[in-house]
Amino acid sequence: MADAITASVIQRRFFSISEEMGEAMLRTAYSQILNASRDFSIGMFDAVGRLIGQAEHIPLHVGGLPFAMKAVTDYFGDDIHDGDVILLNDPYHGGNHLPDLTCFIPVFLDGHDRPQFWTLNRAHQSDIGGSATGSYNPAATEIWQEGIRIPPLKLVDRGIMRKDLLAMIAANVRHGPDFRGDLAAMIGSARIGAGRLKELVAEYGLNIVNDSIDHILNSSEVQARAAIESWEDGDYFGEAFMDDDGHGTTDIAIRASVTVSGSELIVDLTQSDPQVKGFNNSSYANTVSSVHYALAYLVDPTIAKNAGTFRSVQVKTAPGTVVHPFEGAAVTLSTNHPSQEIAEAVMMALAPACPDRVVAGWGKRYRIAISGKNPRNNKPFIWHLFHARPGAGASCNGDGWSNIGELANGGGLKFGPIEVMETRFPLLFEKHEFRKGSAGAGKYRGGYGVSLALKLETDEPVSAVAAGEGKHHAPFGLFGGDAGLPHSYGRRPPGSSQIIDIPTKTVDLTFESGEVLVIESAGGGGYGDSAERPPHLKALDAKSGLELTSEE
């Protein structure tokens, strides 16, 4: 039997192994979405498919990894061998959306003919095929238009790379060489984890490591249950909305009925709206994942996330809904939306049960990708808007952060320096500062959104794709706090003073040379009654030149 101290030490080692896998990935990935934005996650599983450790990169990824693990073992059964590398991205086989590719390595120990561990790396590819560059295609109405689907697939078979398969996948994505580079980094990172796990077993012996895993998972379960137990029993309800699907359906509801009973939690999403034609459906794995990160935020952000953490949580969905679509529905936007709305519905429901743990509403993602010719060097360019991020919601701890973006990544993504953007792209930022009146008022106010005026310094018209949410539905306030202002996305053609609205989801935008994008991003929701706002914060608000929503 492993003692508690050995289990504690082994847990530190699991943290460190995951972190080392993550650092190796950062150092070797090609794409900036991976090595700069860290849009990837690490996981380790044991012989029976339990998540034993993960690196805290993308909160959304973590809850979904067990589904992917299960899809792999279900599919291959006993046909798994030392030296295999398995890939998967299909949302209908445990993935969340196609750009997130997962690579699995089975860890074989001497004397065992079945893998005793698995190491995983899930990473967002800069392109996975389909009809839109970057693979966010708001026109998609079925998954086949979104990119290449990879159900569990052996890329390396007992140490032999299946080159023809790799060539086939690389031929189906837009940046083949980058894809190969990133894939090599993913495999390398998973192999480092495999090596470290073998060292750990060599030091302690498999029995002690396995006993320690039981101990570690039980401990996370006990910690999470203790938090849930402190919440008042009852049936709660929360409802959050997406604006539209880009194909005529609007005000798409996610409904969460949440039952707290002792340390057990049932999250019932079955009353959510039917699945939609557009690409904002959420696969079952993505939905469960979204519930899990909401709970990770609520329970205690420091509890280790593993298979024990959410044992006491049950998620119910109904097939055919937007949170559990039938196979074939388009899903790419789901990791932002409805992931955020699922988390929000859960948080809104649980707000009365744990008022000191919830946060008010955050702003939503609004992607714009511009492509055209750069007149400074006559080369084509593609630019993705990461600026004008929305504000975060307030909590009982204080004001929300301004312009840190969306709930699913918890504020972990940077936007690039404006001076660098202006140097590299034909763009002039006329303004990029906090948006007046955007933050929801309250005892603690939401974070401010941003006012952006961006002028296109191109010679020729450029084309653009918009894939956004949150223009109609605003970040919610809590306990008397106000909602923040929703997004406003518009354009001002050259020589005009009229601002024309930019739709949330469209593939056929054209901007003229000299046209100015006029973007006002959402502010976060407020928390508590404004009358209780601490005087020193009131004094700062009054001098800031940025009124809060309630004063408008």
Partner 1 sequence: MYRIGIDIGGTFTDFAAVDQSGSVVFAKYPSTPEDPSIGLTEGLCALADELALTRDELLAQTDLILHGTTVATNALLEGKGAKVGMLTTEGFRDVIEQREGLKPDRYNVQMPAEPPLVPRHLRLPIVERRRFDGELIKALDEQSVLDALEVFREEGVEAVAICCMHSYIDPATELRVAELVEQELPGVYVSLSSKVLPEIKEFERFSSTVVNAFVGPLIAEYMQRLSTRLEGAGYGGDVLIMHSHGGLSTIEDAIELGAGLVLSGPAGGIAGGQYCAAVTGVDDFITFDMGGTSSDIALLKDATPSYTGNRLVANTCVALSSIDIHTIGSGGGSIAELLPGNILKVGPESAGSTPGPACYARGGAAATTTDANVVLGYYDEANFLGGRVDFDGQASKDAVGAIASDMDVSLTEAAQGIVRVINTQMAEGIRIVSVRAGADPRHFALLSFGGAAGLHIADIARLLDIKRVIIPRSASVLSAFGMLASDLRYEQVRSVMKSLKDLSQDDLFNLVEDMRGLVDQKLNKLESLLESRRHDLALDMRYGEQIFEIRVPADRTTLKSDDFAELLAAAFHQKHEELYTYSIPDQEVVVVNVRLSGVGVMASMPNEAALPRDASDGRYKSREICINGEWRTVSVYDIDSLRPHTHVEGPAIIESKTTTVLIGPQDEVNITPHGWLDIAINQSISAASAA
- Amino acid at site 117: F
Q: How far is the CB of 307 from partner 1 (least distance, A)?
A: 14
Q: How far is the CB of 251 from partner 1 (least distance, A)?
A: 26
Which window, 72-80, 251-259, 417-425, 465-473, contacts partner 1 (CB under 8 A)? 417-425
Which window, 96-104, 156-164, 315-323, 419-427, contacts partner 1 (CB under 8 A)? 419-427
- Select the residue interacting with partner 1 from 77, 248, 417, 535 (CB under 8 A): 417
- Within 505-544, the residues that bind partner 1 by CB under 8 A are 540, 543-544
**Please, which residue, 139 or 407, has the CB nearer to partner 1?**
407
- Select the residue interacting with partner 1 from 287, 402, 504, 549 (CB under 8 A): 402
472 near 486, Cβ under 8 Å? yes
- What stretch of H or E contains 296? helix 284-299
Q: How far is the CB of 455 from partner 1 (least distance, A)?
A: 11
By CB under 8 A, is residue 546 in contact with partner 1? Answer: yes
**Please, which residue, 72 or 298, has the CB nearer to partner 1?**
298
Count H helices, E strands: the chain?
10, 20
Q: How far is the CB of 157 from partner 1 (least distance, A)?
A: 24
| Angle between helices 59-76 and 284-299 in degrees, nearest 10 | 140
Which window, 18-26, 46-54, 81-89, 501-509, contacts partner 1 (CB under 8 A)? 18-26
In order of 147, 247, 356, 394, 511, the CA distances from 133 in angstroms are 10, 20, 42, 35, 18
Strand-pair partners of 383: 370
Q: How far is the CB of 250 from partner 1 (least distance, A)?
A: 28
**Please, which residue, 263 or 317, has the CB nearer to partner 1?**
263
What is the spatial distance between Cα 135 and Cα 144, in angstroms, rounded to a whole number?
11
- Within 141-170, the residues that bind partner 1 by CB under 8 A are none
- Select the residue interacting with partner 1 from 133, 354, 384, 429 (CB under 8 A): 429
Q: How far is the CB of 406 from partner 1 (least distance, A)?
A: 11
- Contact residues for 362 (Cβ-Cβ < 8 A; gap 6+): 340, 390, 391, 392, 393, 400, 405, 406, 407, 475, 524, 525
Q: Could you tell me what percentage of the chain is helix, strand and coil, using 3-state DSSP and rounding each to the nearest 5?
A: 30, 25, 45
∠ CA(232), CA(238), CA(242), 5° rounding? 155
Which window, 46-54, 421-429, 465-473, 512-520, contacts partner 1 (CB under 8 A)? 421-429
Binding to partner 1 by CB under 8 A, coded x per residue (else -) over 281-310, reads: ---------------xx---xx--------
By CB under 8 A, is residue 4 in contact with partner 1? Answer: yes
Q: How far is the CB of 469 from partner 1 (least distance, A)?
A: 18
Shortest CA distance to 441 belongs to which of 546, 548, 352? 548
- Within 202-231, the residues that bind partner 1 by CB under 8 A are 203-204, 215-216, 218-223, 226
- Select the residue interacting with partner 1 from 115, 130, 325, 400 (CB under 8 A): 400
Burial class (CB in 10 A: 0-12, 13-18, 19+), 212: buried
Q: How far is the CB of 538 from partner 1 (least distance, A)?
A: 13
By CB under 8 A, is residue 384 in contact with partner 1? Answer: no
What is the spatial distance between Cα 250 and Cα 252, in angstroms, rounded to a whole number?
6
By CB under 8 A, is residue 7 in contact with partner 1? Answer: yes
Cis peptide before 338 (omega within 30 of 0): yes
Q: How far is the CB of 477 from partner 1 (least distance, A)?
A: 16
Task: Compute how many residues bind partner 1; rule: CB under 8 A.
Answer: 91
Dihedral (Cα; 89, 272, 410, 300), 10-degree rounding: -110
**Please, which residue, 162 or 432, has the CB nearer to partner 1?**
432
- Select the residue interacting with partner 1 from 423, 463, 496, 510 (CB under 8 A): 423
Q: How far is the CB of 545 from partner 1 (least distance, A)?
A: 7
**Please, which residue, 84 or 406, has the CB nearer to partner 1?**
406
By CB under 8 A, is residue 422 in contact with partner 1? Answer: yes
What is the spatial distance between Cα 272 and Cα 322, in angstroms, rounded to a whole number?
7
What is the spatial distance between Cα 472 and Cα 488, in angstroms, rounded to a whole number?
9
- Select the residue interacting with partner 1 from 78, 79, 113, 419 (CB under 8 A): 419
Q: How far is the CB of 386 from partner 1 (least distance, A)?
A: 8
- Within 430-469, the residues that bind partner 1 by CB under 8 A are 430-434, 444, 447, 450, 453
- Within 24-63, the residues that bind partner 1 by CB under 8 A are 24, 27-28, 30, 32, 35-36, 56-57, 59
Say how many Å lie between the first and final Cα of the chain, rounded.
Answer: 65
In order of 56, 68, 127, 322, 456, the CA distances from 284 in angstroms are 22, 11, 23, 9, 40
Which window, 165-173, 273-281, 409-417, 495-503, contacts partner 1 (CB under 8 A)? 409-417
By CB under 8 A, is residue 15 in contact with partner 1? Answer: yes
Secondary structure in 3-state letters for 67-78: HHHHHHHHHHCC
525 near 393, Cβ under 8 Å? yes
